[in-house]
Structure 1
Amino acid sequence: MSSPIEGCPNEILYSILQHLTQTDFLNTCLVSHRLRQVAEPLLYCNIRLVWDASRVPPITQLLRTILDRPEIAIHVKCLDLDGQFILNPPNRRHRFLAKPFIVNDLGKTVEAVEAMKVPYCDDWIEGLRRSSMDAFVALLISQLPSLIRLYLDKNFTYEFRFIGMMLRSSLCEPSSQNSKLPDFRHLRDVSALTFGAETRIYEPEAYRNTLDVLPLFYLPSAQRISVSIDNPNIFKRRNHWDIPSPISIPDALTWPAQHAPEPICIESLDLEMIREGPLGKLLSVTKNLKMLHWNWYHMANGGDQFTTPLINLDQISADLAHVRHTLTDLTITATCEYDEIDYPPLQTHGSLSSIVDFEMLKRLQIPLAFLLGFPSETTRRLGDTLPRNIETLCITEDLSERDENYWGEADVFEAIESWISD
């Protein structure tokens, strides 16, 4: 005998069921076919899987379900793959699901990869056989055409090769040959955090994600992107601690397609790892950017020509100039990681005085060193740097632990008092 609730219109059922938990959705699907029609889209709408030291996420089970019933994939709007191991140094367990598979055991996963007809098909299948998390996540994402939000935490992006290749095929190399790949036209919010700074001490020549992450900027509807982007690793210094001339920084960042992206919808960027120079190449295409959070980062064993102890404020000014007419909210943080070896102290070059003319900027968070340099350097005035129309200002002490002669409280108060009196 059916329950009276089953006679309600779908809209009424949906308004009731949407307040339930994931477990309730699953149980409701088992009650009757009528309730399953309404509850199943809610069950698969928001998927969150966690990978930590005690459990491996059921990626393979989810994939088999979606490949067996492709209509389910349309219901998946948000995919959150969460978790980060706390291991030091990182090891290879980040990269794999469990024991390797036999190809015959993979069933429809192999067929799905072959159907895409991508040139790296054999490598992708081999990645599946080896239980590479990267290979399985790439296949899972490729089956979800209705995604609105994608969150990948550090465990899932320790390597980003297959995900990056799949995104390049879909977004940067569109052709009839790749017609089985979605265009991700609905994807608006993307977060891909990586093991960046943590791995560079131990693996300075490790995998770099630059080419594989840049396709995210080709997403047609992306509004918010939060991503760690390695600096291009094309040139090398003789020593990691050599400080290059501040006059010019090589711009070695190249786009993965024949043309630069035109991400007109991007309004918010949260960037880590990438340094000044390549930063400007990214900002040059974000014509409507309103919010930028950028973490300036230096690691002594960074392994590329960009991660030097020189804070090139002139270059940062040039990079930010690309968004001066749209940016309303700017947050700059700074991180410096040294190992046991004694490396040269941080230095600044030039100034950020050009941001005075950022008339749209209302909120600014920035380290004191970016405004005034270090005490051993030429003293600057706050009023020469701060935007005229600023409404909210947060000056931080980032990098103070790396300089014994960092600005004292009295010096900071004097600088702020002088600015306010003007």
Structure 2
Amino acid sequence: MARFAHVPTEIIDRILCFIPRSGLPNLCLVNQSLRQSAERFLYSTIILHWDYSDIPPIILLLRTLLQRPELFTYVHTITFLGDDFDDGTPPLPDIAEIPFEQFIPAIEKTQVPYTKLWIDRLKTGNMEALVGLLIANLSRTRRLALNHGFINGCSLVGKVIQSKVFGGGQLLAFEQLEDVRYIKEFDYSFPENNSTFTDVLSLFYLPTVTHISAWIPNPTTFSWPAGEPNLDHLTSLDIDWLCESFMAKILALTRNLKSLSWTWECYSELDDVDPWKTSTLDLDAIIAVLSHVKRTLERLQFLLEIGEASLIDDEPKMTVLGSFSNLVHFNRLTHIDVPFVTLADFGPDALPLERYLPDSVEVLSLSTGMLVHDAVKWYTNDFDRGNGDDADDYFVQMIQSLAAVYPTRLPRLRHINIVDEHCCFQNGNLATLTKGLALGFDVQITDRCGWFDQRESFEYQTPAVWEQDSLEEPS
């Protein structure tokens, strides 16, 4: 073992890559040298899952990290993944297990203006107080994901993040953060929990972040909290709910954006409280917003949703203006993922799809989003769930029309993906019909299941690395 201690770090790291995470705690008990190597893998990825049956071992984790602060520097990826708890009270950690004599001084050390609030919530076993304490001590983390139950408007977590971004107290700044995911579902039970606008905007001031995925509620007015940020470093963006005028304020500053996913929502009921709710889809206005990134954008995903979970039998009747025809001029786009109806002028006599597509397109994904909704003017019962024969024929004709202009008009097209969001093709006829066609490009039928999990979390397995007491000092 003494000889093994002199093996170069690169070789040891290569060996440890093949060790299951469950075996790393045992390696830490072998000797001090091996412990130092194994701990970098043991703490590199942290996933804390919180739901009605699973309380994350965050107290045990914090106790270990605060005892040995150098371990915080090993945390490169951290995911807080949990339920939205919109139908009940979430389970909380056992107060008796919280070492207040250790955690309270750690909070006081931050010297933030909300120290008293933070300590008061810690004493009640509040999960936000524990999560905030963990995030407060991260500095070299590269990827951070928070979702649903961990995100509430005007919360401690949001306050801590803002303090780390803008400065405040003695909190460590994020030095290497590259990927941030801040995904939240709309909270109907407690509307005040949806006030996360300022929290999300603070993420855009992080100087090293290249990707942001966030749910942004529309404010009454859009105002940058500390002047316009420099977003030259931002290359990928995934935004839910933000309306056109506010989205334009962000995209106008993204000079190097290559990938954009934007979810637009149609509302059945408009109100004075949220003046940005709309049932009018202005495709020309959408294209005008996207024009800010026309010279750099390579991947575009545009999604349509019914806002605030409106019932299918009470869906909004959309007013549709303009078209996506100017998308043809976005000549850097290689991947396009849009609802089929946005390329069909929302009418039965749609223009040929190739008139919308730039020559640069390589992968085209067409989803059935809004296809079966009353909101779409050319809705017919033939496209309803469980009756997809005519839908099959329609899509086959559409695919054949693209094949007719390939490769002269679309020389780089190599893959078409039909994304079935409403079970339009349950009978499998479309897959059978397209398989026998000589197209020159691949055709695939998939669904969007699991997509939200991918946005919210970096990994899916939960490593059991703190389910035992603090590691004993090895010999």
TM over 0.5: yes
Q: How far does residue 6 in structure 1 lie from its aligned partner after superposition?
A: 3.9
One-letter identity of the residue aligned with 2:15: I
1:365 and 1:395 in contact (8 A); partners too: yes
* Counterpart position of 1:350: 322
2:88 to 87, 91, 95: 91
2:336 and 2:361 in contact (8 A); partners too: yes
Could you tell me how far apart the structure 2 residues matched to 1:161 and 1:354 are?
42
* Counterpart position of 1:296: 264
One-letter identity of the residue aligned with 1:392: V
1:161-217 per-residue CA deviation (whole Å, 9 max, x = no partner) reads 22222222222x33xx53x22221201111122123xx34x5556432111111111
- Cα 1:59–1:299 change in 2 (3 A) is farther
Structure 1 stretch displaced more, 140-149 or 36-45: 36-45
* Counterpart position of 2:73: 74
SS in 1 for 2:181: strand
Instruction: Establish whether residue 185 from structure 1 lines up as the match of residue 185 from structure 2.
Output: no
Could you tell me how far apart the structure 2 residues matched to 1:91 and 1:333 are?
30
* Counterpart position of 1:45: 44
Could you tell me how far apart the structure 1 residues matched to 2:71 and 2:21 are?
16
Q: How far does residue 77 in structure 1 lie from its aligned partner after superposition?
A: 1.1
SS in 1 for 2:163: helix
* Counterpart position of 2:444: none
* Counterpart position of 1:280: 248
| Counterpart mapping for 1:242-391 below 5 A | 252-257=221-226, 259-300=227-268, 304-336=274-306, 337-339=309-311, 342=314, 344-375=316-347, 382=353, 385-391=356-362
Q: How far does residue 328 in structure 1 lie from its aligned partner after superposition?
A: 0.7
- Cα 1:112–1:406 change in 2 (3 A) is same
Could you tell me how far apart the structure 2 residues matched to 1:4 and 1:99 are?
45
> TM-score normalised to the size of structure 1?
0.82
Structure 1 stretch displaced more, 223-232 or 110-119: 110-119
- Cα 1:328–1:38 change in 2 (3 A) is same
Indicate the percent of aligned positions where both proteins have the same amino acid.
Answer: 32
Q: How far does residue 311 in structure 1 lie from its aligned partner after superposition?
A: 1.2
- Cα 1:99–1:159 change in 2 (3 A) is farther
SS in 2 for 1:400: coil
* Counterpart position of 1:55: 54
- Cα 1:91–1:282 change in 2 (3 A) is farther
1:396 to 357, 360, 367: 367
Q: How far does residue 325 in structure 1 lie from its aligned partner after superposition?
A: 0.7
SS in 1 for 2:237: strand
* Counterpart position of 1:242: none
* Counterpart position of 1:210: 197
1:223 and 1:268 in contact (8 A); partners too: yes
Could you tell me how far apart the structure 1 residues matched to 2:361 and 2:14 are?
44
One-letter identity of the residue aligned with 2:4: I
* Counterpart position of 1:126: 120
* Counterpart position of 2:212: 225
* Counterpart position of 2:35: 36
Could you tell me how far apart the structure 1 residues matched to 2:23 and 2:199 are?
38
Could you tell me how far apart the structure 2 residues matched to 1:341 and 1:406 are?
14
Could you tell me how far apart the structure 2 residues matched to 1:290 and 1:277 are?
20
Structure 1 stretch displaced more, 272-281 or 6-15: 6-15
Could you tell me how far apart the structure 2 residues matched to 1:81 and 1:286 are?
28
2:152 and 2:193 in contact (8 A); partners too: no
Alignment root-mean-square deviation, CA: 3.0
Gap regions ≥5 residues in structure 1: 235-251
SS in 1 for 2:60: helix
Could you tell me how far apart the structure 2 residues matched to 1:159 and 1:99 are?
24
One-letter identity of the residue aligned with 1:348: V
- Tell me the matched-pair count: 389
Query: Does 1 or 2 have the higher relative contact order (CA < 8 Å, sep 6+)?
Result: 2
Could you tell me how far apart the structure 1 residues matched to 2:172 and 2:371 are?
47
Could you tell me how far apart the structure 2 residues matched to 1:356 and 1:23 are?
51
> TM-score normalised to the size of structure 2?
0.73
SS in 1 for 2:286: helix
Could you tell me how far apart the structure 2 residues matched to 1:110 and 1:309 are?
49
Could you tell me how far apart the structure 2 residues matched to 1:14 and 1:389 are?
41
1:96-134 per-residue CA deviation (whole Å, 9 max, x = no partner) reads 6335579x9523322222222222222222232232222
Q: How far does residue 277 in structure 1 lie from its aligned partner after superposition?
A: 2.2
One-letter identity of the residue aligned with 1:307: K
2:135 to 130, 138, 141: 141
Could you tell me how far apart the structure 2 residues matched to 1:205 and 1:113 are?
26
1:347 and 1:374 in contact (8 A); partners too: no
- Cα 1:362–1:9 change in 2 (3 A) is closer
Could you tell me how far apart the structure 1 residues matched to 2:199 and 2:222 are?
12
- Cα 1:414–1:324 change in 2 (3 A) is same
SS in 2 for 1:152: strand
Could you tell me how far apart the structure 1 residues matched to 2:17 and 2:400 are?
54
Could you tell me how far apart the structure 2 residues matched to 1:67 and 1:3 are?
30
Gap regions ≥5 residues in structure 2: 384-390, 410-475
Structure 1 stretch displaced more, 319-328 or 151-160: 151-160
SS in 1 for 2:204: helix
One-letter identity of the residue aligned with 2:74: H
Q: How far does residue 43 in structure 1 lie from its aligned partner after superposition?
A: 1.5
One-letter identity of the residue aligned with 2:255: K
1:300 and 1:339 in contact (8 A); partners too: no
